[in-house]
Chains A and B, each alone.
Chain A
Amino acid sequence: MNEVVRRKIYSAILIVGVFVFWEVVCRVFGISSLVLPKPSEIYTTFMQYAPAIAPHAYQTLYTTLVGFAFGVAIGLSLGVLIGSSRLAFDTAYPLLVGISSIPKVAVVPIFVLWFGAGTVPAILTAMIICIFPIVVNVATGIATVEPELEDVMKSMKASKMDILWNVGLPRAMPYFFASLKVAITLSFVGSVIAETVASNRGIGNMMMIASSSFNVPLVFAGLAILSFLGVALYVFFSLIERRVTGWALRKST
């Protein structure tokens, strides 16, 4: 327990240290805030613009979460389908890899063409960017059930559905939650990209406008917000993960 507390303190010191170092470097070398603003400057800018930033942050959070939710639903069902059938795996996997290797920035214009600029392209980008890691993880978890365990189940005359429900799905849960943590951060990337390209709201859009008017501290304030939201959601899913799949984490506790 002592060890855990000590590690947390180290980690906090490192984070504070990075900001102190940044501040000191900016001051010592007199770096212009047009290039790299000081953390203190970012903070005051943030406080100053907070009321204006809030709706943007809300918009980004909204598009990210909606896109993420759709992504999880689609990713989970595809993962279950692909993981439980060899045929589906072999058939669909090449297509999935192909789709996932398309840079997501490149599809934003297409979404804009179809749905117009604004909320919908951001949601869709957040969605497609997070599907792939979920599919791969869930499929892996289900497909790698130990053959002996499958034999035990089959010897009980268990149906495919029984095996999936009692063994495959619970077994895939740690993989699923691990992928959620990756997926939620990817979703943020997706919605911010879309907002940057084609939207008049959201943190991405705010940063675009701020940078075109050389308000660099505000750009950094936007980054800070994104990082804060990302960390908050990561922590949220880690907590759920620990509750649901504590049995798989036994080695680290």
Chain B
Amino acid sequence: MPGRPLVELDRVSLTYGRGKSATPALAETDLKVADGDFVALVGPSGCGKSTILKLVSELMAPTSGRILFAGRELGANPVRVGMAFQASTLLPWKTIRDNVMLPLKIVEPFRAEYRAKRKGEFRERADALLEHVGLIDFADKHPFELSGGMQQRANLCRALVHEPDLLLLDEPFGALDQFTREELWLTLQDLWLERRSTVLLVTHDLREAAFLANRVVVMSPRPGRILEDRAIPFPRTRSLDITFEAEFTQIVQALRALIVRTPTGGKA
């Protein structure tokens, strides 16, 4: 399954601020993510997990080091990313369908065709995704009429509608209750199995990381370094039953031991 690396971090460091107030967030990190892989980043708060997502999505530039996408430096070729955060960030004045169609209005090459296709092909594309996550009956509702879990489903749809090369998820299910969260794990797994877009998932929840990802990358406290890069062997499609298996629990405990053992630095 793992092909050539799609994303490659080459001795990447990032320091926030300058001079005395400089805070190193990431120190000389190497990370390779294969095309079509599903990688989870875990670690204590402030270890630079989210920073990696921001670097890869070009929201920030690294202080030193290189980030390669498909072998070429970022910026050289446009990378299409989809992003989702813990807060659903849906636009409250738009219907769910229009929210999901937002990337098509912004991202090239869809943008050029948006006017012509927003009522036809693009609408069908959004509806197909909404159908897939069980939200089609809510397409004409506004976000505030939906529960938190449903909003996050819509949020995933929005992150995927423009068929990104890279799906970046920053604790997308962090604000949801246990049952809803596990339901969404299954939804996300389905979407990934169907599309095989490359996923980078940042999470605090080790069970979530172990359930969803092919690889779990454990990071040290600030400044973040990669402590361990662990393959998760369970075959797809995974069902929630595996979370009760001894092997699963062992993996989660091993991950936990890595994070708890390392002394947590002063967290802001």
Most chain B beta-carbon neighbours within 10 Å: one of A153, A170, A173, A247: A247
Out of A157, A162, A247, name the residue touching B92 (CB < 8 Å): A247
Most chain B beta-carbon neighbours within 10 Å: one of A152, A157, A162: A152
Q: Once bound together, how far apart are the Cα atoms of A149 and B159, in whole Å?
A: 12
Q: Output the nearest chain B residue to A167 by Cβ-Cβ distance.
A: B91
Whether the Cβ atoms of A148 and B89 lie closer than 8 Å is: yes
Report the stretch among B100-108, B179-187, B211-219 that lies at the interface: B100-108
The answer to the question of A245 belonging to the interface, with a C-beta cut-off of 8 Å to chain B, is yes
Question: How distant is B215 from chain A, measured CB to nearest CB, in Å?
Answer: 23
Q: A153-B106, A155-B81, A166-B105 are in contact. Are A247 and B89 (CB under 8 A)?
A: no
Question: How distant is B83 from chain A, measured CB to nearest CB, in Å?
Answer: 4
Q: Output the nearest chain B residue to A174 by Cβ-Cβ distance.
A: B93
Whether the Cβ atoms of B107 and A157 lie closer than 8 Å is: yes
Whether the Cβ atoms of B144 and A152 lie closer than 8 Å is: no
Binding site secondary structure of chain A: helix
The answer to the question of B78 belonging to the interface, with a C-beta cut-off of 8 Å to chain A, is yes
Whether the Cβ atoms of B93 and A247 lie closer than 8 Å is: yes
The answer to the question of A243 belonging to the interface, with a C-beta cut-off of 8 Å to chain B, is no
Q: A162-B106, A247-B92, A247-B93 are in contact. Are A154 and B87 (CB under 8 A)?
A: no
Q: What string of 1s and 0s marks CB contacts (under 8 Å) between B11-24 and chain A?
A: 00000000000000
Question: How distant is B51 from chain A, measured CB to nearest CB, in Å?
Answer: 12
Q: Contacts of B84 on A, CB cut-off 8 Å?
A: 152
Q: What string of 1s and 0s marks CB contacts (under 8 Å) between A163-188 and chain B?
A: 00011001101000000000000000
Chain B, range 166-192, C-beta contacts under 8 Å to A: 168
Give the tally of cross-chain contacts (CB within 8 A): 55
The answer to the question of A110 belonging to the interface, with a C-beta cut-off of 8 Å to chain B, is no
Out of B54, B81, B89, B106, name the residue touching A158 (CB < 8 Å): B106
Q: Contacts of B1 on A, CB cut-off 8 Å?
A: none
Q: Contacts of B92 on A, CB cut-off 8 Å?
A: 247-248
Q: Output the nearest chain A residue to B159 by Cβ-Cβ distance.
A: A152
Chain B, range 88-146, C-beta contacts under 8 Å to A: 89, 91-93, 102-103, 105-108, 142, 144
Q: What string of 1s and 0s marks CB contacts (under 8 Å) between A43-58 and chain B?
A: 0000000000000000
Q: Contacts of B268 on A, CB cut-off 8 Å?
A: none
Q: Once bound together, how far apart are the Cα atoms of A149 and B102, in whole Å?
A: 12
What count of chain B residues pass the 8 Å CB interface test? Answer: 25
Q: A151-B54, A151-B83 are in contact. Are A157 and B106 (CB under 8 A)?
A: yes
The answer to the question of A86 belonging to the interface, with a C-beta cut-off of 8 Å to chain B, is no
Most chain B beta-carbon neighbours within 10 Å: one of A155, A162, A166: A155
The answer to the question of B248 belonging to the interface, with a C-beta cut-off of 8 Å to chain A, is no
Q: Contacts of A173 on B, CB cut-off 8 Å?
A: 93
The answer to the question of B85 belonging to the interface, with a C-beta cut-off of 8 Å to chain A, is yes
Most chain B beta-carbon neighbours within 10 Å: one of A151, A154, A245, A250: A151
Question: How distant is A202 from chain B, measured CB to nearest CB, in Å?
Answer: 39
Chain B, range 51-66, C-beta contacts under 8 Å to A: 54, 57-59
Whether the Cβ atoms of A151 and B85 lie closer than 8 Å is: yes
Q: Once bound together, how far apart are the Cα atoms of A51 and B162, in whole Å?
A: 65
Q: Contacts of A90 on B, CB cut-off 8 Å?
A: none
Q: Output the nearest chain A residue to B84 by Cβ-Cβ distance.
A: A152
Q: Once bound together, how far apart are the Cα atoms of A146 and B87, in whole Å?
A: 10
Q: Please give me the 8 A-B residue pairs with the lowest Cβ-Cβ distance, nearest first.
A: A155-B57, A149-B89, A148-B85, A155-B83, A247-B93, A156-B106, A158-B106, A156-B107
Residues of A within 8 A of B (CB): 146, 148-149, 151-158, 162, 166-167, 170-171, 173, 245, 247-248, 250
Inter-chain pairs besides A148-B85, A152-B89, A155-B57, 8 sampled, C-beta below 8 Å: A152-B83, A154-B59, A155-B82, A156-B81, A157-B108, A170-B93, A173-B93, A245-B93
A-B contact pairs, 20 of them (CB 8 A): A146-B87, A148-B87, A149-B91, A151-B54, A152-B83, A152-B84, A152-B85, A156-B81, A156-B103, A156-B106, A158-B106, A162-B106, A166-B105, A166-B106, A170-B91, A171-B93, A173-B93, A247-B144, A250-B142, A250-B144
